[in-house]
Amino acid sequence: MLTITERHQSILKQLQEEGRLNIVDLSDSLNVSGVTIRKDLKLLEDKGLLFRTRGGASITNPYTIERSINEKELIRSDEKQRIARKAIELIGNSDSIIIGSGTTVFALTQSLYPSQHLNVITPAVKVTLALCNRPNIEVLQLGGQLRPNSSSVAGAYAEKILEEISCGILFLGVDGIDLEFGLSITNLAEASLNQKMIETADAVAILADSSKFGRRGLGRVCSFDQVKYIVTDKGAPAKTVSLLEEKGIQVIIAD
């Protein structure tokens, strides 16, 4: 049987190779109980050598923090523009869409010039301001308490309006895409509104750059079986993309 030092060396070596590990696999490969593995992971986390996750460990911090929309706009801006231009193709003949909050879905507005009438429903004030005078677009701004960090509304009033609405496709940004946890964002109030928007739409398209994979926000938005499309960039991990496609999600890579 391996000593505790040898187990720790083995765990760290596997983590360097795989990026993420789960307790069951470690227990089998090291021939020790799950309880022992959990103690090992805690000791290694206390030393700053890994991050514990639900059911395992990660080499990078899987939890994301909330940033202001102005700060987010400067992060991976080129990838966001490419993702947005690719996502436009999904609108097709839809006569109504929802554009959520966040900088990646806001980038969608910069390329949105429909040739026929389009209803746009949004909680995001910046989306409304960008589209309110654009030809062929009619905007329904959801009401409610405005959150300064995201320039977007959230709360019961916005959710109530959505109960009377039906639309073709929802374009939604997220802060985390995790195969175990699902899709998540950093704010609980907006997570609740996003869940209501998902119920309203016929199809859900997630717009997220590759840095969101393997990350988790505070509030879970939905599971993968509620998502039809994920539009991302070429940096998305190939293994995760394959697993998502096995779940029936159409993963679209923006060049």
Domain boundaries, the chain: 4-58, 69-254
Chosen CATH of 69-254 out of 3.40.50.800, 3.40.50.2000, 3.40.50.1360, 2.40.110.10: 3.40.50.1360
In the DSSP assignment, the letter for residue 143 is P
- Summarize pLDDT for 136-178 with one digit per residue, the tens: 999 999 998 887 777 889 888 999 999 988 899 999 999 999 9
Report which of residues 191 and 250 the model is more confident about: 250
**Unique residue bearing structure tokens 């193709």:** 89
237: CB partners within 8 A, 6+ apart: 210, 213, 214
Nearest CA to 211 among 234, 228, 227?
234
Q: How far apart are CA 145 and CA 158, in angstroms?
A: 9
| pLDDT bucket at 60, cuts 50 / 70 / 90 | low
- Summarize pLDDT for 216-231 with one digit per residue, the tens: 888 899 999 999 999 9
Secondary structure class of 226 (helix, strand, coil): helix
What is the torsion angle, in degrees rounded to the nearest 10, for the CA atoms of residue 199, residue 203, residue 208 and residue 214? 70
C-alpha triplet 234, 236, 239: angle, nearest 5°:
120
For residue 216, what are the β-bridge partners? Answer: 63
Q: What's residue 74's pLDDT?
A: 47
Radius of gyration for the alpha carbons in the chain, expressed in angstroms and rounded: 20
In the DSSP assignment, the letter for residue 4 is H
Q: Indicate the residue type of 220.
A: R
Q: Please state whether beta strands 219-222 and 182-185 pair in parallel, antiparallel, or not at all (unpaired).
A: antiparallel
Q: Indicate the residue type of 58.
A: S
Q: How far apart are CA 34 and CA 81, in angstroms?
A: 44
pTM exceeding the 0.85 threshold for the entire prediction:
no
Total count of residues recorded for the chain: 255
Q: How far apart are CA 194 and CA 203, in angstroms?
A: 13
Q: How far apart are CA 208 and CA 190, in angstroms?
A: 16
Q: Indicate the residue type of 24.
A: V
- Summarize pLDDT for 92-107 with one digit per residue, the tens: 887 899 999 888 999 9
Architecture of domain 4-58: Orthogonal Bundle (1.10)
Kindly tell me if the per-residue pLDDT of 120 is higher than 70.
yes
